[in-house]
Amino acid sequence: MQDTRTFDANDAASGPDLGNLPEWDLSDLYTGEDAPELQADIEWLEAECRAFADDYENKLSTLDAAGMLRAVQRYEAIEGKSGRVMSFAGLRYYQNTTDSARAKFFSDMQAKLTDISTPLVFYSLEFNRLEDDALATLLDASTELARYKPVFDRLRAMKPHQLSDELEKFLHDQSVVGAAAWNRLFDETMAGLTFDVDGESLPLEATLNLLTDHDRDRREAGAKALARVFTERLPLFARITNTLAKEKSIEDHWRKLPTPQAGRHLANHVEPEVVQALRDAVVAAYPDLSHRYYALKAKWLGLEKLEIWDRNAPLPTEDKKVVAWPEAKKIVLDAYGDFAPKMAEIAEPFFEKGWIDAPVKAGKAPGAFAHPTVTDVHPYVMLNYLGKQRDVMTLAHELGHGVHQVLAAGQGELLSSTPLTLAETASVFGEMLTFQKLLAATTEPAQRKALLASKVEDMINTVVRQIAFYDFECRVHAARAEGELTPDQINAIWMEISHESLGPVFNFMDGYETFWTYIPHFIHSPFYVYAYAFGDGLVNALYAVYAEGTPGFQDKYFEMLRAGGSKHHKELLAPFGLDASDPKFWDKGIALISSMISELEAMEA
């Protein structure tokens, strides 16, 4: 952390309270920027991309099944090599986004690989010009080629929205100074922000962390510090949002995509009506979920109205104990191992081999993620671990992603990536396993109440909050289509959504209208956020099947994770007797959250 009082990151991250927090060892990718293997891979990519274009451009329609299989496998090898390069550059950058040398290296690699891969643009365009019958004949002739059918299906879903070869190449080349450049501006701006809290200068992650502090004055000070800085930077964030939304609108128009969300749905391989059913079910449940819970929370805190800085406040009865890293590791691995020893075995190397970067450090990207890198290496998990119970749950969440990515790696580079509709399944399931283990071990009523309330809040943040974010994006993109939005107009949309989703028990302080500015998903991956709600609802239903003692559940679960992106969500959920396309499916997950709130209400009686 950085601070006017030379606040050392180690004070919060590696001190005696937390233990020795692990940091990444990226040498499994490359040993450094000057590694000869890195230079050799770039040279290989340059030569192979040119050779691929020479061998196949304007010739895909002439290939037999064996020839098409070789082409696909060569393309997959290129994807793997470029993925390795960009994973290394990106992970180093996110460790310290304010390091100009790392930022330059990341940007240079993006530009270089964009240039190198330009000859490949023809591939998807030409592939989509193959006749359906001709492709079906090729797939019938080769079981090895047919294995890639899910990749082809996703590729050909964009066929109606494909532009001319020349335009596609232009968009490819232009991307590094388009969305990617605005994304980088956002990241570097966020990483460089400091917030004055009672004379102490804190970065974003540490300031956001104050919103869960036991001391209400500290929560208020943190919220007001965030509001001051976000308001100061509001014109920049509005400019970034306007530009990216307009750029997306232009490209969507050219591609004849019917809605701003359509591209995300196609990429996720999910039907728009399934997402709409999820959204409608959650919005209809706002009064029963968030409105009801936050009214209950106000009562617990002895308040008639909650201020926005009370939303994630811990309960007065919540254990203030700091969870040291060794204990966090044991909690999560024990929960995983109780479900299936194999799950803990897969997770163990993350702790032992430098696959987790846990400390809070100056310049480090905020939040947490699990990055799969490439299938012949392993995932890396990033945390900003501060020893709170929520941090333990975040560890369980991101480690779930990591386990999923390890299992799916066997599918290979093109088939391992899971569509967003199921990408959150293993992570949320890992959280649920950890929560249930902690709950089972809690016998003291006040602690059980605090633990249950914490889980309800996490579920509200995952389901209600993310659908509210999705609605915010939908409204912003729709409004942007009518013309440029002023900061006040974007703020107004945020406040409409906040009132609808959080309910009447809240007061909203001056400045809260700017809190949309720091949410990276709006910038990096428009409309991604519904995947969290999708995953939570799906896992709630999945966990109910597990809790019923369904025979062979663990084996089916591992098979689902191993499938990666090789199957549609209908196919993956069928062995569990679940179907996400059934509108009533989402009611099961909502009912679980509602039942937990009812249990909390009963504790008051």
pLDDT at 2 over 60: no
Which strands form 380-382's sheet, in the order they lie side by side?
356-357, 380-382, 369-371
Task: List, for residues 332-384, the tens digit of each pLDDT value.
Answer: 999 999 999 999 999 999 999 999 999 998 889 888 999 999 999 999 999 99
Q: Are 530 and 265 in contact (CB under 8 A)?
A: no
Task: List, for residues 239-257, the tens digit of each pLDDT value.
Answer: 999 999 999 999 999 989 9
Number of other residues whose CB lies within 10 A of the CB of residue 159: 14
CA dihedral 111, 116, 117, 120 (to 10 degrees): 150
- With a CB cutoff of 8 Å and minimum separation 6, the contacts of 100 are none
Using CA of residue 495, residue 178, residue 421, residue 88, what is the dihedral sign?
negative
Greater confidence (440 vs 144) lies with 144
**Predicted pLDDT of residue 30:** 98
Give the whole-angstrom CA distance, residue 207 versus residue 205. Answer: 5
pLDDT at 12 over 50: no
**Predicted pLDDT of residue 152:** 93
Identify the CA nearest to 366 among candidates 187, 245, 236, 143: 187
Using CA atoms, how far residue 146 sits from 66, 371, 459, in Å, is 11, 28, 39
What mean pLDDT comes out for the span 193-221? 93
Of 49-63, 340-354, 577-591, which range is least confident?
577-591
What mean pLDDT comes out for the span 583-592? 85
pTM of structure: 0.80
Going from N- to C-terminal start, the domains of the chain cover 32-177
The one-character DSSP state at 507 is E
pLDDT at 419 over 80: no
Give the whole-angstrom CA distance, residue 44 versus residue 74. Answer: 12
The one-character DSSP state at 314 is P
Tell me the DSSP string of 108-169. HHHHHHHHHHGGGHHHHHHHTTS-HHHHHHHHHH-HHHHTTHHHHHHHHHTGGG---HHHHH
Give the whole-angstrom CA distance, residue 366 versus residue 360. Answer: 9
Of 435-444, 486-495, 520-529, which range is least confident?
435-444
541 phi and psi angles, rounded to 5 deg: -70, -40
pLDDT at 3 over 60: no
Q: Are 462 and 432 in contact (CB under 8 A)?
A: no
Task: List, for residues 427-477, the tens digit of each pLDDT value.
Answer: 999 999 999 998 888 888 888 888 899 899 989 998 999 999 999 999 999
How deeply is 177 buried, as exposed, middle or buried, from its count of CB atoms within 10 A (0-12, 13-18, 19+)?
A: exposed
Give the whole-angstrom CA distance, residue 538 versus residue 587. Answer: 10
Q: Is 307 helix (H, G, I), strand (E, B) or coil?
A: strand
Which tokens is 395 given?
């560890």
Tell me the DSSP string of 385-402. --S-HHHHHHHHHHHHHH
**Predicted pLDDT of residue 421:** 74
Instruction: Spell 226-255 as b/e; 16+ CB within 10 A means b.
Output: bbebbbebbeebbebbbbbbbebbebbeeb
Identify the CA nearest to 330 among candidates 355, 348, 357: 348
Greater confidence (80 vs 316) lies with 80
Greater confidence (316 vs 326) lies with 326
Count of residues making up the chain: 605
pLDDT band at residue 605 using 50, 70 and 90 as cut-offs: low
Domain 32-177 has CATH 1.20.140.70: yes
Pairing of strands 306-307, 369-371: unpaired
**Predicted pLDDT of residue 9:** 34
